[in-house]
Amino acid sequence: MKINITARKFKAHDTLKEYITSEIERLERFNGEIMSSDVILSFQNNKDSVKEVEIVIHIPGQTVTATETSDDFKKSINLAVEKILKQLEKIKTKKTAVRIPND
């Protein structure tokens, strides 16, 4: 799986990139069809120092997206990954429901 990490308006540290990579690779356990993922990090330097993470996962025939904001990148990443997990589980459930024949 290819993981693209983009940091807007700042340079992401290697430790943050490694954390992102490990979290995204964890998603492969739930859906082995993931082709690629894009992670976009945004930092808004205002009084709140808002950190936004957008994760886009590409699987055959679909794109799964989640966006989260918080005061810490790791917290935003965790929240976005949880949203992606829920969406992947829903997709998996729909696929298995279609495959089950009605007797």
- From first to last of its 103 residues, what are the pLDDT tens digits of the chain? 899 999 998 898 999 999 999 999 999 888 888 999 999 999 887 777 889 999 999 999 899 999 999 999 999 999 999 999 999 999 888 877 766 665 5
**Residue 69 pLDDT:** 93
Domain residue limits at 48: 2-99
Q: What are the angstrom distances between the C-alpha of 25 and each of 45, 62, 72?
A: 29, 18, 21
Find the CATH number of the domain harbouring 43. Answer: 3.30.160.100
* pLDDT value, residue 17: 94
Containing 7, the helix (H) or strand (E) segment is strand 2-8
Phi/psi at 50 (5° precision): -75, 130
CB 55 within 8 A of CB 69: no
pLDDT of residue 99: 64
**Residue-level pLDDT at 100:** 60
pLDDT of residue 30: 84
Number of domains in the chain: 1
Distance CA 33, CA 63 (A): 12
